[in-house]
Amino acid sequence: MAKMSGKGQFTTVQKAINSIPSNNKQWTIILLNAGVYKEKVMIVKEKPYIILKGMGKSSTVIEWGDSGNSLESSTFKLYAPNFMARDITFKITWAPAALVRGDNASFYGCGFIGIQDTLTDLIGRHYFYNCYIEGAVDFIWGASQSLYQNSEINVKSKEIGVGKAFITAQGRQSASEASAFVFKNCKVTGTGPAYLGRAYKKYSTVVYYQSSFDNIIDPEGWNIMRQAGNEKYITYAEVECKGPGADMSKRVKWEKTLTAEQQKKFVDQKLFLNQDGWIEEQRLHL
């Protein structure tokens, strides 16, 4: 495994990434010193096996002030498979802080700060552990197969005056896809009011498992963006959640009740997205 020491060999994060050979097959760690890196960063699909490692999500920040197209304006864009980030915050003014569309991508102790479309979790299998995600409008969206574990989801709707916030806009399009967002042992905090999600596509799938909700969740819990009439196909579920926002007595009637077997397929990491052990293999290199 190669390592770039963080002692100033490169003046930008992008220059360090560009120095790694295309079609690299050796895990390479890029160490980022504490500080604010004001730049856009992109990892193209020909640059797999990269680890971006900061000094802490509060002290190592990659930031840009763009807005506009949610697929083009991201501060950080990942297209390569086999990627890890640790202890870094990705930040933007309005557009996505990060766009993730490479398979087998994992984030540990990372932050994602924005307002709308903060985390474009687009395509692939992704794992987020002990992360912090902040926003107000559809701020976790896309059609990936992702597990968010032990993470904080912070709603900022009151501060920016958007009315009601929408945490997720999940984009599963067919019954045959594995696409879903699963929040396991997470906490939803902030100012609200907020919906846990709104259906972005016909088979939108989001599960909150053993998570806690502040008193900011709209009593209905869930909403539909453009998919009215497809409620029977949508899988929105809360399992063993707690906190003042977890009262399900007034939730939408089409929220699903999962069987024990269905629950396990979502919340068991091995069954949901780690069948080939890629998460454990990656951890060996952190």
Report the b/e string of 206-227 with b at 16+ CB within 10 A.
bbbbebbbbebbbeebbbbeeb
Q: If you search the block for the tokens 């086999």, which residue do you land on?
A: 82
What's the half-sphere exposure (Cβ side, CA atoms, 13 Å) at 53?
16
> If DSSP codes are grouped into helix, strand and coil, which group holds residue 73?
coil
Alpha-carbon distance of 164 to 35, in angstroms, equals 34
* Distances, alpha carbon 178 to alpha carbons 9, 110, 125, 229, in Å: 42, 25, 10, 22
| Residue 254 identity (one-letter amino acid) | W
Q: What is the DSSP letter of 274?
A: -
Whether 66 is a known active-site residue: answer no
Catalytic, out of 87, 103, 121, 138: 138
Catalytic, out of 87, 103, 117, 121: 117
> What are the backbone angles phi and psi of residue 43, rounded to the nearest 5°?
-115, 110
Whether 87 is a known active-site residue: answer no
199 dihedral zone (left: phi>0; alpha: psi -120 to 50; beta): beta
H-type helices in 107-203, by residue range?
157-160
As annotated, the active-site residues are 117, 138
